[in-house]
Amino acid sequence: MKLSLTQKIILGFILGLALGEYFFLTFSPEESHEWAQRFQVISKIFLRLIKMIVGPLVFCTLVVGIAKLGDFKAVGRIGLKTIGYFYFATLLSLVTGLVVVNITQPGSLQSWPKPAAGTSTGIDASKVKTLEDFILHIFPDSFFKALAENEILQIVIFSLFFGVALGSIGETGKKLIHVFENLAEVVFKMVNYVMEVAPYAVFAAMTTVVANKGLSILISYGYLMICFLGGLLFFTVVILWLICIFNKIPYWALLKELKEALLISFSTASSEASFPQTIAALERFGCSRRIVGFVLPLGYSFNLDGSMLYMTFATGFIAQAYGVHLSLEQQITMLLTLMITSKGIAGVPRASLVIIAGTLTMFNLPAEGIALLLGVDPFLDMGRTVTSVAGNGVATCVVSKWEGEFNPPTNA
């Protein structure tokens, strides 16, 4: 019996858990780490292959969609709707994180050892971009540089201008549109080839994480993980579902279509790893190619619901662990600040923790508190990545629906 891609990914996930735990229990921490590094090469190769095709994929799909539209007013209208929805979803996810951490009190109900002052966390809060830096960073000074460095937002900006110009030059433009449509088909074929590596990448990624940390860490951090993952589950199952009900979108059918993308995202803790699969799934689900090509790349910088929820939850947790009470006014200030600063995190490694470090400093909380989360952060990252991918799937469907370009399958 031939296994489907989903079945292979699940099998790779389970085998990775088992092998990683074997390494952790059998070898010394140094030897286990060495084995983890060897396996990590496979997942790194997969992520590089994904990055290789993400830029061309965004460029081709967006150029074709915008060129067929050929109107900057329509682009502006879609853009305003998209950004408006993103801020609405960001507010919901930030509030959810605050509510969950205040109700469950994971920092207060369990005794946490306080990291010594000056403890290195490997997180540099100075990496947070200012609003001006972020705005300037969106606009490319070279398209080829943006493509080479996989700067998705910059590729989107160039594609918008290129697509509108292409759609405005008449018959010549139509001939070139056909060329780009064919190029998009070639890139999607490349995606199919790359996805054959996904089960092995999932296996390697899980082996690496578990070999370094061991599954026993899940016990000591059990209550914290239950609280946070419960918050993610509530946001994914209830809030996103309610948004879909309001917009008459079949949410459970959407999740079923996205299952492969969600599995890859969870296993690799990378939303980028599932980007091509997410595009293909949303198009199959009835979203127009131009809406998918426009909304999804923006969502990977502006609409990371899982990361937003984590920022307020983690900040509240660290404050509780240090016995610091944050007043309602301080929490509202935190929420409003994160509404702005969180939009500048694209491309920053361990971006959520960088923003959290800056937020702790703002409220005179010790930045060393992040060390309390570092041990379990790889596991938490899996959950927040899945939530972000699901959130961007919903965002794309909502904007498609608002634009009258959503035609879900009749059996959805």
pTM confidence score: 0.85
The answer to whether 221 touches 67, Cβ cutoff 8 Å, is no
The answer to whether 339 touches 94, Cβ cutoff 8 Å, is yes
The answer to whether 397 touches 255, Cβ cutoff 8 Å, is no
Round to whole Å and give the CA distance between 384 and 396. 18
**Is the sign of the CA dihedral 367, 266, 105, 218 positive or negative?**
negative
Non-local (6+) Cβ contacts of 40 within 8 A are 204, 205, 208
Running DSSP on this structure, what letter comes out for residue 116? P
Where are the domains positioned within the chain?
5-403
CATH architecture of 5-403: Orthogonal Bundle (1.10)
Per DSSP, the residues of 223-265 read HHHHHHHHHHHHIIIIIHHHHHHHTT--HHHHHHHTHHHHHHH
Distance of CA 89 to the CA centre of its chain: 14
| Tens-digit pLDDT string for the chain (412 aa) | 677 888 888 899 899 999 999 999 998 888 898 988 888 898 889 888 888 888 888 888 888 878 876 666 777 888 899 989 999 999 999 999 999 999 999 988 777 766 666 555 555 555 555 667 767 877 888 989 988 888 877 888 898 888 888 888 888 888 888 888 888 889 888 888 888 888 999 899 889 888 888 888 777 788 999 999 999 999 999 999 999 999 999 999 999 999 999 999 888 888 888 888 899 899 999 998 888 888 888 887 788 899 899 999 999 999 998 888 888 888 888 888 888 766 655 544 456 777 787 788 778 888 788 888 887 888 888 899 999 999 999 999 999 999 988 888 877 6
Hey, what are 233's tokens?
């589950």
